Amino acid sequence: MENVLSVILGGGQGSRLYPLTRSRSKPAVPIGGKYRLVDIPISNCLNNNIRKIYVLTQFNSASLNRHIKNTYSFDPFNPGFVDVLAAEQTITSQKWFQGTADAVRQSLHHMTNHDFDYMMILSGDQLYQMDFKTMMETHISSGAEISIATIPVNAYDATGFGIMKVGENDAIETFVEKPSADELGEWGSEVSDELKNEGRIYMASMGMYIFNRSVIKELFDEMPEATDFGKEIIPSAIQNGRKVKSFLYDGYWEDIGTIKSFFEANLQLTTAMPKFNLYDPNNMVYTRARMLPASKISGTTLERTIVAEGSVIEASRVEHSIVGIRSRVGRGTTIANSIIMGNDYFPRYDEVTGKDGTKPPMGIGERCYIQNCIIDKNARIGNDVRINGGTHLENGDFDQYSVRDGIVIVPKTAVIKDGTVI
């Protein structure tokens, strides 16, 4: 895989994940207690021996830059790299990235300084463990110019994806972006009997592409105004007779595009046999190696809960939740169906002991009840706070919290005073 260069698309403003993206780019959003979303595609690349990796971003990139710098440092004898390319003004362009294709086009002059024959384009906000080597081998052996990773979906899900009609030898014949339910009748593809019985006959694009190096340059030259791969580049390539192939993937894959999908994918990790396996030695998920003490738990009942290192927990009960690094949870507190992202640093001693007194210390105080909630990093939840998320709450952004699909989000560094009820 030395002749492969990987490009991870960091996304735009990440408005659907707001307020988690208020102060960070989408790939930098914490997941699984100790990781960040960008660790998933990077880890998939490293596990498949892809060592030339660019991450393209333009909004709130400081946190992402810092994470990548502190995490992915190769030794001097390894030519690999993981670098961030943010949108920049140049002689030829003074605009922000206008879409997925435009981001790659504007950054191409950096990439062509490296030797590679194939460019793999990945999304920065998906959860999966995929064998890129097999996809690359299939791309080469089939003589494809472009390969698109596809996943079979049912009619309900199909309207939210780019759908491809796949013919003989996995050739993609036509492509439509997010068809309406009325259009789906003509977009089914030939699939196995098992998939037919499940109703999964529509081939959805996973937003993962392999381009031959010469082909992507030619397509950019042919369509200098095109800004998006799914809406413009791919359909035009198919229409003009390019060899575009489907690579069928039927493993676990989740698009982390909304607060609800982010919430559900995180909590799914707490099950006994999660669909995304963090404990697979052959598919390691890499992240920043922190020198933190082990977590300390006193008098707490834990049920289906992930607890990251450096935490001090004195809660009564934590159930079906994720407790992130350096978290602090006070006595008598109950947490259920929630994501506690933790803290970027340990709170001061005078804060924890109450000698400071100006505001609650970082973490969650005593005798609180937290349910259906995401508490972002460095948030301060006082004593006797009750947050009970659910569909009874109206969506919106409020003073110190937001609500999306019944999930209460307490943003980074927010302060919830003693006795608050949400």
**Residues forming beta bridges with residue 205, ordered by sequence position:** 150
What are 313's two structure tokens?
């927990």
Q: How confident is the model at residue 86 (pLDDT cuts 50, 70, 90)?
A: confident
Q: Looking at the predicted structure, is the pLDDT value of residue 6 above 90?
A: yes
State which of 6-20, 72-86, 110-124 shows the largest mean pLDDT: 110-124
Q: Looking at the predicted structure, is the pLDDT value of residue 347 above 90?
A: no
Q: Is 175 helix (H, G, I), strand (E, B) or coil?
A: strand
Q: Looking at the predicted structure, is the pLDDT value of residue 355 above 80?
A: no
Note the pLDDT of residue 310: 96
Note the pLDDT of residue 12: 66
Q: Looking at the predicted structure, is the pLDDT value of residue 202 above 80?
A: yes
- Once rounded to an integer, what is the mean pLDDT over residues 286-298? 95
Cα angle, residue 165 at apex, residues 161 and 168 outer, rounded to 5°: 145
Q: How confident is the model at residue 353 (pLDDT cuts 50, 70, 90)?
A: low
- Once rounded to an integer, what is the mean pLDDT over residues 43-59? 92
Q: Which residue in the block uniquely carries the two structure tokens 């290192």?
A: 309
Question: CB within 8 A of 167, min separation 6: which ones?
Answer: 173, 189
Q: Residues 370, 334: contact at Cβ < 8 Å?
A: yes
Q: How confident is the model at residue 78 (pLDDT cuts 50, 70, 90)?
A: confident
Q: Looking at the predicted structure, is the pLDDT value of residue 94 above 80?
A: no
Q: How confident is the model at residue 40 (pLDDT cuts 50, 70, 90)?
A: very high
Give alpha helix (H) positions in 159-243: 193-197, 213-222, 234-239
Q: How confident is the model at residue 95 (pLDDT cuts 50, 70, 90)?
A: confident
Segment among 57-61, 169-173, 271-275, 326-330 with least mean pLDDT: 57-61
Q: Looking at the predicted structure, is the pLDDT value of residue 175 above 70?
A: yes
Note the pLDDT of residue 177: 83
Note the pLDDT of residue 10: 82
Q: Residues 151, 37: contact at Cβ < 8 Å?
A: no
- Once rounded to an integer, what is the mean pLDDT over residues 366-388? 97
Note the pLDDT of residue 92: 65
Q: Looking at the predicted structure, is the pLDDT value of residue 102 above 90?
A: no
- Once rounded to an integer, what is the mean pLDDT over residues 372-391? 96
Q: How confident is the model at residue 351 (pLDDT cuts 50, 70, 90)?
A: confident
Give pLDDT tens digits for 131-160: 999 999 999 999 999 999 999 999 988 988
Q: Residues 135, 247: contact at Cβ < 8 Å?
A: yes
Q: Residues 151, 35: contact at Cβ < 8 Å?
A: no
Q: Looking at the predicted structure, is the pLDDT value of residue 74 above 90?
A: no
Segment among 86-90, 311-315, 387-391 with least mean pLDDT: 86-90
Q: Looking at the predicted structure, is the pLDDT value of residue 354 above 80?
A: no
Nearest to 220 by CA among 205, 206, 236, 208: 236
- Tell me which DSSP letter residue 294 carries: P
Note the pLDDT of residue 76: 80
> What is d(CA 263, CA 269) in angstroms, rounded to the nearest whole number?
10
Q: Looking at the predicted structure, is the pLDDT value of residue 296 above 70?
A: yes
Question: CB within 8 A of 188, min separation 6: which ones?
Answer: 201, 202
Note the pLDDT of residue 299: 95
* Residue-range domains of the chain with CATH: 4-268 (3.90.550.10), 296-416 (2.160.10.10)
- Tell me which DSSP letter residue 390 carries: S
Which backbone phi and psi does 200 adopt, to 5 degrees? -95, 75
Nearest to 407 by CA among 37, 20, 149: 20
Nearest to 6 by CA among 47, 43, 40, 55: 55
Note the pLDDT of residue 288: 94
> What is d(CA 145, CA 420) in angstroms, rounded to the nearest whole number?
58
- Residues 355, 358, 363, 367, CA torsion sign: positive
Q: How confident is the model at residue 181 (pLDDT cuts 50, 70, 90)?
A: confident
Give pLDDT tens digits for 205-223: 999 999 999 999 999 999 9
- Tell me which DSSP letter residue 143 carries: T
Q: Looking at the predicted structure, is the pLDDT value of residue 394 above 80?
A: yes
Q: What's the distance, Cα to Cα, between the start and end of the chain in Å? A: 51
Give alpha helix (H) positions in 33-129: 39-47, 62-71, 100-111
Pairing of strands 402-404, 363-364: unpaired
